[in-house]
Structure 1
Amino acid sequence: MESTITQNHRNVAALIHASTFSKYLVPFGNFLLPLVFWMSNKKSSPFVEYHGKQAINFQVSILLYNIALGITAIPLALFTAWDFASFNFIGGMDTINIQTGLDSIFNHGEHFLLWGVYGILYLSLFLLNVICTIIAAMKAHEGLAYRYPMTVNFIR
């Protein structure tokens, strides 16, 4: 990093981090808007270039963690559906019994426990994204370098 970071560079770097919240308004806004700000300002300062890379790398990492959680949840969804609908194929009589009511919930409590774990993991990723992005924007505005936790460096 250069020793003289202007206020404009700090504002642009903070804006790059804060622009990742645009994903709540525009699909893939957490990639597109920071990428536009970073690409248009990266040659002006190594500070802006560093923060742009950090923001984009973190958003890609969070996306990959969410995809991995989603893929691992597919077998759980299938097994949960299979257990709730008891399939009986005996002697040519194909029947499907769907369990309803509180007895089905208490009989399949392990599924609800696993879905609770998945819910906690998704909530943790969401909170990690929000909290770390706010911290990164504040650090950038103060003129300090910030490295996101759990980030895979795709852009070096």
Structure 2
Amino acid sequence: MQDPNDPSQTPPPYNEPPAAGQASDAGIPADQRQWALFTHLSALIGFIIPFGNILGPLVMWLVKRETMPFADEQGKEALNFNITVGIIGLALVVLTFITFGLGVILTAPIGVAVFVAWLVLTIIAAIKANDGLAYRYPFTMRLVK
């Protein structure tokens, strides 16, 4: 006969997945993780709109910074990274003009490397944010506090 007070005989509790808006295993609510994901990915709008890589994260951050702490933190991180990449791109363009195009030999490989790093790091940050992990981009000037 089973004793209802014996913990070794009771089945383990069923763990249901968190509902929308509840905390995940990382402790960050699903809606905040999703907004942080979209904030990082919004930089990809730069493929369509000039300066979209800065405008996308800026708009997303401004919309949710007051109500979602995780989205606020990741929004600032995405914005700072994209501003830094924009400054590097602008410096490469200026260097090319100053050297009357001779700088293309130097700036083109650097520009390609910066572009690939931007794309890869943006995707990594989006994945980490969706997992509820705060991502810090390397080599980023922290301009927006």
- Give the AA of the match of 1:58: F
1:30 is the counterpart of 2:62: no
Return the TM-score normalized by structure 1: 0.71
Unaligned runs of 5+ in 2: 1-22
The CA deviation at 1:46 is: 1.7
* Higher helix proportion: 1
CA-based RMSD: 1.8
Q: State the TM-score, normalizing by the size of structure 2.
A: 0.76
* Alignment coverage as a number of residue pairs: 121
The structure 1 segments of at least 4 consecutive aligned residues displaced by more than 6 Å after TM superposition are none
- In the alignment, the residues of structure 2 paired with residue 61 and residue 46 of structure 1 have an alpha-carbon distance, to the nearest angstrom, of 23
Partner of 1:131: 120
Given candidates 39, 53, 56, the residue that maps to 1:16 is 39
% identical aligned pairs: 32
Cα deviation for residue 119 of structure 1 reads 1.2
Distance in 1 (alpha carbons) for counterparts of 2:70 and 2:130: 11
Cα distance in structure 2, aligned partners of 1:144 and 1:60: 22
For residues 69 and 28 of structure 1, what CA distance do their matches in structure 2 show? 16
Structure 2 match to 1:103? none
Consecutive unaligned residues in structure 1, runs of 5 or more: 81-113
Which of the pair is proportionally richer in strand?
1
Amino acid at match of 1:117: L
Distance in 2, matches of 1:136 and 1:12, equals 12
**Aligned-partner SS, 1:77:** coil
SS at match of 2:99: helix
Rg larger in structure: 1
**Taking CA–CA contacts closer than 8 Å with sequence separation of 6 or more, which of the two structures ends up with the larger relative contact order?**
1
